[in-house]
Structure 1
Amino acid sequence: MGQFRDATDENRFEQEFEGEAGAGQVWADYAVRGGARMILHVEAEQSLRGSGAAGRFMQSMAEYAREKGLRLFPRCSYAVMWHKRHPDYDDVLA
Structure 2
Amino acid sequence: MEMEIETTNTGGKVLAYNGDELVGRLEFSYEGNVMRIDHTYAYKEGMGVGSLLVSAANDYAINKGLRVLPVCSFAGVWYQRHQQFADILYKEGSQS
TM-score range, shorter-chain basis? 0.7 to 0.9
Question: Out of 19, 25, 28, which is 1:27 matched to?
Answer: 25
Residues 10-49 of structure 1: matches in 2 within 5 Å? 11-18=11-18, 23-45=21-43, 48-49=44-45
Which consecutive unaligned segments of at least 5 residues does structure 2 have?
91-96
1:1-94 residue pairs with structure 2 within 5 A?
A: 1-8=1-8, 11-18=11-18, 23-45=21-43, 48-94=44-90
In the alignment, the residues of structure 1 paired with residue 85 and residue 6 of structure 2 have an alpha-carbon distance, to the nearest angstrom, of 19
Identity %: 27
Greater Cα offset, 72-81 or 49-58: 49-58
User: Runs ≥4 in structure 1, deviation > 6 angstroms?
Assistant: none
Q: Which has the higher helix share?
A: 1
Q: How many residues get paired?
A: 90
RMSD: 2.2
- Mapped to 1, the partners of 2:67 and 2:6 lie a distance apart of 14
TM-score by length of 1: 0.78
Q: In the alignment, is the contact (CA less than 8 A) between 2:3 and 2:17 conserved in 1? A: no
TM superposition score normalised by structure 2: 0.77
Distance 2:32 2:9 in 1: 16
- Asked if the contact 1:58/1:82 (under 8 Å) is kept, the reply is yes
